[in-house]
Amino acid sequence: MAMWKRRRVLGKGTYGTVFLVELSDPTATPIAVKTCPIAKSFSLQLEERVLAQLRGCPGIVSCLGSSLTVEDGPGLYNLFLEYAAGGTLEDLIKKESGLCERDMRRYLRMILRGLCSVHGKGMVHCDLKPSNILVFPGKGGDSLKIADFGLAREGQDYKEEMGFWRFRFRGTPYYMSPESVAFGEIGAPLDIWSLGCILVEMVTGKPALWKYRNLNARKLRLAIAQQSPGIPEGLSENGKDFLRKCFAMDPRERWTAEMLLNHPFVSRPIYGNGKTPEPQASPKSPLKFRAISGFICFLASSGLVLFYAR
């Protein structure tokens, strides 16, 4: 890492402050640094470990290393990240007071590709929300990447953490799933529920559980545990079906990121009239989806499937 210094604050969170970095090499690509006292750097160290495992994966912000510094007081832990000049998805939503469906679908594809990488490694983000999704402007349009893995669940550490996390919010309440709030269950379906909440926010410009904003922690917990967010009327039928797959109350019935990537809402193009064709019959649960896939593979291996034409 070349010589560097912090320039201006890009954002502040519970576990650190993010700065734009000025490098000694004026031709170098701008980067960001997330900083906190070493004594409180558990979350940043976790984020660095997670991002190291996800290096090169699509839809995931890149970690460029870390350093320790001492500056007029306690030591600081610095985590270097690629700089998102477009800010966050939250900024985009607030600017437009909601997004058009064409952009929603394109952004969902990017987020889902990132979630496929995260879940494929046996990890869970646990705090997926618009402010933790970065925007990178480009000639072909904005691209999104998932960031802020400071609360992520790392594979096998789940059982060890259960004593601490049970009956506590792990993440941001408005984006938490019923099973995580009611029973302390932390798994990939939590991120899918959060994704559904993000889509509602893209449509309405407000958090999915906005109507509960004045409830105390106990009543908010009960509200989340007992019902799913409402599905916006302004969304297409494909979009509403996508949300139903995200908001299945039973996490075993919730679709996976890989399945959602093949949902008509994100997989099919939008034509000139802005409407999408109705989805074909789809499996009602992840278990049935896997059973159908296995049956097709069996037929193919037996030589019973000769061709498929569409």
Residues known to be catalytic: 127
Single-letter residue type at 110 = M
Contact 134, 144 (CB under 8 A): yes
- Cα distances (angstroms) measured from residue 264 to each of 23, 60, 118, 200, 241: 45, 24, 22, 17, 9
CA 166 to chain CA centroid, nearest Å? 22
The helix or strand, by DSSP H or E, that contains position 295, with its residue range, turns out to be: helix 286-301
Local structure of residue 88 (DSSP, 8 states)? B
CA 289 to chain CA centroid, nearest Å? 23
Residues contacting 238, CB < 8 A, separation 6+: 263, 264, 265, 268, 276, 278, 279
Tokens of 122: 């046996």
Distance CA 195, CA 210 (A): 16
Residue with tokens 């980067």: 31
- Radius of gyration of the chain from Cα atoms? 21
- Cα distances (angstroms) measured from residue 279 to each of 197, 240, 284: 22, 11, 13
Can you tell me whether residue 34 is helix, strand or coil? Answer: strand
Dihedral of CA atoms 178, 244, 93, 133 in degrees, nearest 10, equals 60
Distance CA 256, CA 188 (A): 8
